[in-house]
Amino acid sequence: MRRYFNFIFWIASVLLLSGVLRSVTQDYYSSLMLAIALLPGVITAKIMIKEISLKSLKTLVLHSIYLALITILVEYQTILFVHLYLYNFGFTTELEIIFNPFFLWLIMICLLSLEKLLEIKFLSAEEIEENRLIEFTSDRKKISIPINTIVYIESRDYEVWVRCIEEISYRTKMNITHWEEVLDSRFIRVHRSYLVNKTHITKTDASCVYAGGKSIEISRKYKDRIQL
């Protein structure tokens, strides 16, 4: 569903944007090509905005400045490259608006905000959360990974291990109860020491679930959470 949503949204965005840009080009085909040339900056912003840290106001401001500068440079380079080497847009006298950073930032903000609003309206909570990243500290390093790559959380005395796909593991001090609070409904507690991602469960029987090639015991306390 998300794949079709993204495809339809970006096709519609290009068509809408080409109409907005029609006044600065010689014909509609040129405005369509210009709208497509603006997409790399928007996509860069969409990717980078996930990396913005909310840890502190100073970090938030610095990351936002970096995001604004990098995306505007991507937009400028893409527009100039396409204009000089691939296609002549035939700019009119309103050329300066295309290189106005505030105009380009406004386009990016509008498209990304519209996409988010439509996602909330038309996609389920699980689909919206599917590619969300989670940040935590492992061995004094800041780690950021997609939640859907986590297979299960394992608690071992004073250490908690985040077991991911491709047999990647991260050690963290964040206790399993806290993990249960920050993760979404895809994760179920099957034991006081295990929190399992339902999407990675390959088999379930009366006493165990199987995920990531591991057999995980279901304790009596959490047995009613598992659909056998």
pLDDT in tens, 120-143: 777 665 555 556 788 888 988 888
Greater confidence (108 vs 6) lies with 108
- Residues 38 and 82: their CA atoms lie apart, in Å, by 10
pLDDT at 124: 60
> Quick check: 63 pLDDT over 60?
yes
pLDDT at 195: 93
Q: Which of 91, 123, 155 is the last residue in one of the domains?
A: 123
Q: Which of 80, 97, 123 is the last residue in one of the domains?
A: 123
Shared domain check, 118 and 139: no
Name the residue type at position 129. E
Shared domain check, 119 and 137: no
Q: What are phi and psi of 116, to 5 degrees?
A: -65, -40
Shared domain check, 11 and 93: yes
Cβ-based neighbours of 141, under 8 Å, separated by 6 or more: none
Reported as a single tens digit per residue, the pLDDT across 172-199 is 988 999 998 888 888 999 999 999 998 8
Q: Which of 123, 141, 167 is the last residue in one of the domains?
A: 123
Calculate the alpha carbon distances from 97 to 50, 81, 105, 133, 165 in Å. 28, 18, 12, 35, 47
> Quick check: 83 pLDDT over 90?
no
Helices in the chain by DSSP H: which ranges?
Answer: 2-20, 28-37, 39-48, 57-81, 101-122, 125-129, 176-182
Confidence of residue 153 (pLDDT cuts 50, 70, 90): very high
Joined together, the tokens standing for residue 56 give: 């502190």
| Domain ranges, residue 178 | 133-225
